[in-house]
Amino acid sequence: MTDFAPLTEERKQAIAAMVEQKYGHACRAAVELAFAALTPSAPAPSMADMRMLIQRLSHSLRKASPDNVLSDQAMDYLKRTAPIGSPLRDGE
């Protein structure tokens, strides 16, 4: 079995930068959120944070590949499971 070196902040930032260069800023945000989730002392991301991240990733995917149905499926799932409202409007 191979032992891996622990991920330092420097290595995490390098990985996130490579992901951003290849896939865009929203994917970098997803990688940083994943690293934060793996850090034992980090608080768990809230559902609102996860919903916003999925929305950002969905928008980036739709912009990069308009014919891809995954973006619509992700937004449909969010609408069914966690109603998306506006923080500026009550009751929506």
Do 19 and 55 lie in a common domain?
A: no
Asked if 30 and 9 sit in the same domain, the reply is: yes
Examine the domain organization and report whether 38 and 51 are in the same domain.
no
pLDDT of residue 42: 56
Are 14 and 32 spatial neighbours (Cβ–Cβ below 8 Å)? no
Is the same domain home to 89 and 75?
Answer: yes
Same domain? For 38 and 68 the reply is no
Whether residues 29 and 70 share a domain: the answer is no
Q: What is the per-residue pLDDT across 35-88, written as a single tens digit (0 to 9) for each?
A: 776 666 656 667 777 888 888 888 888 888 888 888 888 888 888 886 656 556
Domain holding 31, by residue range, is 1-42
**The pLDDT of residue 70:** 86
pTM of the predicted model, to two decimals? 0.47
Do residues 58 and 50 lie in contact, with contact meaning Cβ atoms separated by under 8 Å? no
Structurally, the chain folds into a number of domains equal to: 2
